[in-house]
Amino acid sequence: MKTFHCTACQALIFFENTKCLSCGRTLAFFPDRAEMLALDAAEQGLWRAVRGDAVDSDTVKLCTNYSDHGACNWAMRSDDSESMCRSCLLTHTIPNLDVPGNPEAWVKLETAKRRLVYALLNLNLPLRNKLQDEKSGLEFKFLSDSVTANGDQSRVLTGHDNGLITINVAETDDIYRETQRLRHREPYRTLLGHFRHEIGHYFWDLLIADSKRIGDYRRLFGDERVDYQLALKQHYEVGPPANWADNFISAYASTHPWEDWAESWAHVMHMVDALETAHFVGLSVKPQRPDEPELSVPPVPTRAHVGDFDHLIEEWKTLTYVLNNLTRGLGLSDAYPFVLSVPIADKLRFVCDTIASVNVKKQE
């Protein structure tokens, strides 16, 4: 993630902030320029960005999920024909807001999704909703488990199907999710992790399924035509192979080549986000021995970074050393509890190469 400063007072701010704690102004992320704007109210409910002592002449408007529900923090050009931002427009179904706890759950889901959307735009990946492209567009449904008329439990499965990504609202409940995380030994089972995993399935359909990359994919990840339901059943009944960590980024990745791809894809998105942050804050690590890797690189466009995997992985090893030492220093468990073997790194390289090969001319 980029480092953001309040455009009015230059205070450091997070991507998720809605108010500058230093100057008190309303903040909004403006995706067209990938910046966090400090805003002053203008006429007719519109806003103008403040830049130091100056004020933009152009007006912007807040996404209605921001102004009406506090579930977004994005702004758009005031002449945009839509009332919602491009992240919110991807959501087809929101949780029932009359149910206690659901408004907060929805905010958490949209917050995680916006970080996903930021990265997809940053990587120049195609991002169209189902209204723009019914066949290969993307949409999200946030659904809760329910009880049917005859008293049966109807469970919502988090997953991807043909551009539709369903997330079970229960995943926003920290206690539920942490229990699942420990039970299934999924260190990065987080809301953002779910979004990054499921979008991996979506991009498999888009970038691998009918492409000439399918042969290379099968060589690295295995043949995805093996029975998926049987593979899942086996995973939950028998568990992963004892040596899964030699070849898979996670135990779950060993269930099926599709899951291996989605887990690898999600991992690349974790890496890209954390490395972008390290670059933008100017983090540098000075080696004490000549053979130790050095991390001291000026910010490079994330997309270019994905195109140079050898460089990316070297920096990653250094950054994860820093990350783990920092969290150990705080008495917490390792922020990065993964070991990247050669077969795993080859899969991550393939994901990066696939992303780098996408050539989206113009995003509208």
Q: Which residues bind Zn ion (CB under 5 A)?
A: 6, 8-9, 11, 20, 22-23, 63, 65, 72, 74, 85, 88, 259, 262
Give the residue from 88, 34, 48 showing the smallest Cα distance to 66: 88
Burial of 252 (0-12, 13-18, 19+ CB in 10 A): buried
- In this structure, what token pair is assigned to residue 49? 């960005």
Q: Which helix (H) or strand (E) holds 242?
A: none
Q: Nearest-CA neighbor of 319 among 285, 348, 268?
A: 285
Cβ distance to Zn ion smaller for residue 17 or 320: 17
- Tell the burial category of 81 from Cβ atoms under 10 Å away from its Cβ (0-12, 13-18, 19+): exposed
Residue that the structure tokens 């169209």 belong to: 128
Question: To the nearest whole angstrom, how small is the minimum distance from the Cβ of residue 66 to Zn ion?
Answer: 6
Least separation in angstroms between residue 7's CB and Zn ion is 8
- CA dihedral of 54, 17, 284, 327, whole degrees rounded to 10: 160
Q: How many CB atoms lie within 10 A of CB 347?
A: 25
Q: How far is the CB of 89 from Zn ion (least distance, A)?
A: 8
Angle between helices 309-329 and 257-280 (to 10 degrees): 80
Cβ atoms of 67 and 75 within 8 Å: the answer is: no
Q: Which is nearer to Zn ion, 117 or 295 (CB)?
A: 117
* Shorter beta-carbon distance to Zn ion: residue 11 or 345: 11
Residue among 208, 211, 332 at smallest CA distance from 260:
208
Task: Rank residues 76 and 312 by Cβ distance to Zn ion and give the closer one.
Answer: 76
Complex with Zn ion: residue 158 or 211, whichever CB lies closer: 158
Q: Provide, rounded to whole angstroms, the least separation between the CB of residue 329 and Zn ion.
A: 30
| Least Å from the CB of residue 249 to Zn ion | 13
Nearest approach, Cβ of residue 324 and Zn ion (Å): 27
How many Cα atoms are found within 13 Å in the side-chain-facing hemisphere of 159?
8
Q: Which residue has the tokens 């939950």?
A: 236
Closer to Zn ion at the Cβ: 160 or 279? Answer: 160
Residue 82 or 134: the one with the smaller Cβ distance to Zn ion is 82
Nearer to Zn ion, 8 or 165 (CB): 8
CB of 262 to Zn ion, least distance (A): 4
CB atoms within 10 A of CB 310: 9
